[in-house]
Structure formats: C-alpha cells, structure tokens
Amino acid sequence: MVVVMEQRASEDEVQHIIATLVEQGFDVHRSTGALRTVLGAVGGNRSFDERLINVMDGVQEVVRITEPYKLASRTFKPERTVVAVGDVRIGGDEVIVMAGPCSAESEEQVETVAAALAGAGAKLLRGGAFKPRSSPYSFQGLGEEGLKLLRSAADRNNLKLVSEVMEIGQIELVARYAHMLQVGARNMQNFNLLRELGKTRTPVLLKRGISATIEEWLLSAEYILSGGNTDVVLCERGIRTFERYTRNTLDISAVPVVHKLSHLPIIVDPSHGIGLRDKVAPMARAAVAAGADGLIIEVHPDPDHALSDGAQSLFPGQFDRLMAELRIIAPAIGRSICVEPVPRRGWGA
C-alpha cells in the first residue's frame, strides 16, 4: 500500500498513520519529499481494508499495490494452467467448444442436439437442469431427471457434461452426473457456494458476474482455489453497460487481460453475452481470434419452441457453419479446433 499524504498534513497525522499501519503488521517506509510525504507499506494483512487509512486526517490518497488474490495470479504461478475434464484439456493448444441447449427439456431434444454437436466437433455438452430465472413465473428446469437425460446423451456421443449448480445443496447431486460444475453469473459472489466447490475435486466453470470487475472475478476464483480445487476455468459472458440494443456487452478484452493477470484458462459465452441469435456467430469468431481457450454456445434443435433462451440459441446448421469458420481462424494464433470430428448422423437445420 502506498499512502500519499496531503501537502499540509502535520507530522502528528503522519505519525498516526504510521502507527496504525505498524499495528496491522506492515513494514512502513517513509519518503519525505519537497512537497509531500509518501508512505510505502509492505507485508501486513492481505485483507486489510485500505479505506480505513483513506478516511484518516491528512491523507490524500491510498493505493493498494498487491493484487488481493494470490493463487489465481501469474505472479504465483507463471505458466498457464491446463484443466482436464476427463480427456478434454482446456487451456492447451486446442480451442474447446462446449455447446447445448439452455435447459434440458426432453430426451429427444437432448439426444438430437448432442449428436449434432458431437458431429460438428464440440467436446462438452452444456445443459441446465436447475434454472435461475429472473421471473418467478418462468420455467425452472427439470431437476435430476434433466441431469440423467443430459449425461446419457453425453455418454452416447462421447461428450463430457457441464451443468450449473445454484446452491450448496445441489453440488453433490449435479456432480454425480456432470464432469464440470458451472457457477452462473448471479452466483459469482455467492461465497459460501464457492467455498464448498473448493472442497470438491470436480472442475468448475466460473462465469463472470454482469457487473464484476476482472479483479473481483479472480478473487472469486481464489475462493475455490484456496479450498484446494485447482481446476477452475473462467467464462466471460457479457457485462452490463448503458448500451440498450444488446442484452449485455460482451467484454472480449477480458481474454487478453485475464491471460496477462492469471494462469487460469478463459472461455467465452457469446450466447448470453449478446442475447440475440444472429450476433452469436460473429462474437464467437471474435472470441477465438482474441485468444479464448474455448467457447460455450447455446444450440437448440428447435429454438422457436425452446422453453428458455430460444432467442439466443443457434440452429444446429448455424453451429456447423460457425465451427467451419472457427477452423480457419484458430491457426492464425497457433491453435487448433477439433479437426476430425466424429462422423455425424445427418439432420438438417
């Protein structure tokens, strides 16, 4: 922490700040300049609230100089982490695509989609069984029955399954079926949930909250990492801005920023990020071009009749075309994207 004193700060005020910092375990270096005094404080308590100094008399500004997260930082671990979900490796040379419907709705829906996705080169099936809906009057998901359908379709098509957990009580159940547990944007700061996920050994896909800074997001990852679960993948899914035409503003720049600050892999969710089907493919291409380690995309065999988020779900044929485009883009940055997909059983779009 660096404490910049006001020009007219008195010696007493300076001494009071120094005493307070020392009391909190900091080593304090004082630098008295022509115009003002600057104090450098190192060591001390990582969770110390620097605003306490900020409101003291004589203080002009306080600046924190260490990231509040540690295990998630590249300072701690310079080389990139590769997260293994079964035999799928996220964070390596291959760009990993996860896809599927917003919610599991029926056996036929899930199986149709899973077969199509596998055929096109996806590696994980995504699908919700418990849905967090902003309206109490909306479809809330199939629960365990949905998980069974999803896992069964995933297995038949050689896909891994990623599905969302909304509360502590669901972890055990979802982990029984899913290979990767998704934490939704609204739960990014549900710290009790994060702490419990830190105790499991199932990989976690941690979505960014719609108003979370990248620092807060990495701090949420830290909750999981500090519990001993090192398999965390971050997922950018759009932040809230003043722009009204799109549902959210997909922050593609989070990809290079996270790669600089952290060793954790980062994927992008263009479906939630943009919220309208016809803009999903451009944003998916943009994410891969920016260096994302993967994508998670909503695909539905019949989006017009989807029980949730149909408007942002691709038709399977659109997903096929997108994958073909991504195979051209990935090599530009020295990456690949499932080049030899499983031969697919035909179906139209």
- CB of 84 or CB of 276, closer to a second copy: 276
Residues 300-329 that bind a second copy (CB under 8 A): 303-304, 306, 308-312, 325-326, 328-329
- Residue span binding a second copy (CB under 8 A) among the ranges 88-96, 105-113, 161-169, 341-349: 161-169
Q: How far apart are CA 200 and CA 202, in angstroms?
A: 6
Judged by CB, which is closer to a second copy: 332, or 343?
A: 332
Whose Cβ is closer to a second copy: residue 87's or residue 137's? Answer: 137
Exposure string for 185-206, b = 16+ CB within 10 A, e = fewer: bebbbbeebbebbbebebbbbb
Q: 3 in helix, strand or coil?
A: strand
Question: Least distance (Å) from a second copy to the CB of residue 329?
Answer: 5
Say whether residue 223 binds a second copy (CB under 8 A).
yes
What residues from 119 to 158 belong to the interface with a second copy (CB under 8 A)? Answer: 132-139
173 lies in the site for a second copy, by CB under 8 A = no
Helix (H) or strand (E) holding 320: helix 316-329
Q: Which is nearer to a second copy, 135 or 201 (CB)?
A: 135
Considering the complex, state which of residue 157 and residue 318 has its C-beta at the smaller distance from a second copy. Answer: 318
Distance CA(324)–CA(348), nearest Å, equals 16
Between CA 208 and CA 214 the distance in angstroms is 8
Q: Does residue 346 bind a second copy (CB under 8 A)? A: no
CB count in 10 Å sphere of residue 43 = 11
Among 333, 336, 345, 349, binds a second copy (CB under 8 A): 333
Distances (CA, A) of 139 to 144, 169, 195, 307: 15, 20, 29, 7
The yes or no reply on residue 278 touching a second copy (CB under 8 A) is yes
Task: Enumerate residues 44-103 that contact a second copy by CB under 8 A.
Answer: 45-47, 49, 51-52, 54-56, 60-61, 63, 65-66, 68-69, 75, 78
Binding mask 281-300 for a second copy (x = CB under 8 A): -xx-xxxxxxx---------
Q: Least CB distance from residue 156 to a second copy, whole Å?
A: 29
In the range 231-260, which residues lie near a second copy by CB under 8 A? 239-247, 249-253, 255-257, 260
Q: Identify the CA nearest to 48 among candidates 75, 79, 21, 80.
A: 21
Alpha-carbon dihedral sign for residues 192, 224, 248, 268 = negative
Strands, DSSP E only, in 93-251?
96-100, 124-126, 160-164, 180-183, 204-207, 232-236
Dist CA 30 CA 175 (whole Å) = 53
Closer CB to a second copy, 179 or 279, in the complex: 279
Q: How many residues bind a second copy (CB under 8 A)?
A: 116
SS3 content of the chain, % helix, strand, coil (to 5): 35, 20, 40
- Restricted to residues 1-40, the positions that interact with a second copy (CB under 8 A) are 2, 4, 6-8, 20, 27, 29, 31, 33-35, 38, 40
Binding of a second copy by 42 (CB under 8 A): yes
Q: How far apart are the first and last CA of the chain?
A: 58
Compute, in degrees rounded to 10, the torsion defined by CA atoms 244, 141, 157, 294: 30
Footprint on residues 192-221 left by a second copy (CB under 8 A)? 192-193, 195, 209-211, 213-216, 219-220
- Whole-angstrom distance, CA of residue 256 vs CA of residue 258: 6
191/347 with CB nearer a second copy: 191
- Return the number of the residue (49 or 340) whose C-beta is nearest a second copy: 49
